[in-house]
Structure 1
């Protein structure tokens, strides 16, 4: 699972608000240009953003390996028909482009997660969105970034424990049922422990967050975001 990794890359030195702005502009450009030529240009931008965070495409693919089957299923299902000729490859072109676009967006998100601490993300959200809504969003994002990797780790350990007990020889439906039950049990257990830990630490909706300052390097991020936003409008 992709998580924050300390470093001194270009993306690490940018303000989180700048990186969020680049992400939003990239998503807008991705949805505005769904053609192969547009996605080819966005592929180059994605490669540059991954490189700026010190993250390789292969590492990003490994981090999102649980999503890849769903992205591949769309074009495959769209190409199948209930009668002759059974497979129409032309019907899979648009879903394939949409899946590739989603993969590019996930890669850009991976670059952000890799280069941004959770506390800075929360600070960026709460200082951008005013009032209780910003506090709620900041807290929710912080909890998701910390909680979701633990749930995936629990599911992985559950599957490894089942395999060690020859559980992989059971029927597929039974394996899914056992994994789901064990995963839900662990998730509720972690939620209870999280609630207790928050109360024990006098959880506050508006804690002292790290200081955020724009630097000269952020102008590079603003320029990239402006170019992507202008391209999305054009």
Structure 2
């Protein structure tokens, strides 16, 4: 699981609001224009984001391999049939096209997580969404970003402990039950400790967050996000503007 790592890349220096705009715009573009042209735009943006964050695509695949494994099963399930023919190419290709839309979004999201501190993400959300709703979203995102990697580490530690005690010799159902039970116990214990820590630190809904300021490159990133969000509409204009694939 990727987490924030300090650095001096281009993506590290961008305002989180600009990076969120690019993510939102990319999601709208790839899902709103499911054509070869839309896939090409999404792939180009994803490669550009990886280069801006100095993040290897192989590292993203290793970190999010359960997501990619789940996506890879989609075309197989979509093309499977209960009778002759046992596998249908048309539905499999359609499912593959749906899966391909998600891949660029995952890569860009990985770059965001790798290059953006949690406090800046919370500040960006609370500045974008006003009032108590924004503060609630900011707190929720901050807790998820901090809590989820810890839960994953506990899960891996439980799996290593089971293997160290010759757990591989036990039936699969028994292993899964032991790992899930112990992982849930650790997660609830973590949640109780987190609640106590928040109370001990006088948790505030509106703490002093890091100041955010747009620079020229942040405006460019935001403009890119707006352009991506408008892409499906532009692609459907008459042929004299952009030919529809």
**Normalising to structure 1: TM-score of the pair?**
0.96
Give the match for residue 41 of structure 2: 41
Distance, in Å, in 2 between the alignment partners of 1:174 and 1:35 is 46
Name whichever of 207-216 and 96-105 sits farther off: 96-105
Q: CA deviation at 1:218?
A: 1.0
Partner secondary structure for residue 193 of structure 2: helix
Moved over 4 A (4+): none
Residues 81-96 of structure 1 correspond to what in structure 2 (within 5 A)?
81-96=81-96
Distance, in Å, in 2 between the alignment partners of 1:122 and 1:27 is 21
Contact map agreement 1:22 1:221 (CA 8 A) in 2: yes
Distance, in Å, in 2 between the alignment partners of 1:128 and 1:228 is 19
Name whichever of 141-150 and 214-223 sits farther off: 214-223
Q: CA deviation at 1:68?
A: 1.9
Q: CA deviation at 1:205?
A: 0.8
Q: CA deviation at 1:151?
A: 0.5
Give the match for residue 203 of structure 2: 203
1:3 aligns with 2:3: yes
Distance, in Å, in 1 between the alignment partners of 2:29 and 2:174 is 43
Distance, in Å, in 2 between the alignment partners of 1:86 and 1:34 is 27
How far does the alpha carbon of each residue in 1:74-102 deviate from its partner, in whole angstroms, 9 at most, with x for none? 11111111112211122111111211211
Contact map agreement 2:21 2:226 (CA 8 A) in 1: no
Aligned residue pairs, count: 234
Q: CA deviation at 1:150?
A: 0.6
Distance, in Å, in 1 between the alignment partners of 2:175 and 2:82 is 30
Unaligned runs of 5+ in 1: none
Residues 1-234 of structure 1 correspond to what in structure 2 (within 5 A)?
1-234=1-234
Q: CA deviation at 1:228?
A: 1.0
RMSD over aligned Cα, in angstroms?
1.2
**Normalising to structure 2: TM-score of the pair?**
0.92
Contact map agreement 1:30 1:42 (CA 8 A) in 2: yes
Q: CA deviation at 1:219?
A: 2.3
Distance, in Å, in 2 between the alignment partners of 1:69 and 1:2 is 17
Q: CA deviation at 1:41?
A: 2.5
Distance, in Å, in 2 between the alignment partners of 1:100 and 1:165 is 41
How far does the alpha carbon of each residue in 1:145-168 deviate from its partner, in whole angstroms, 9 at most, with x for none? 000001111111111111111212
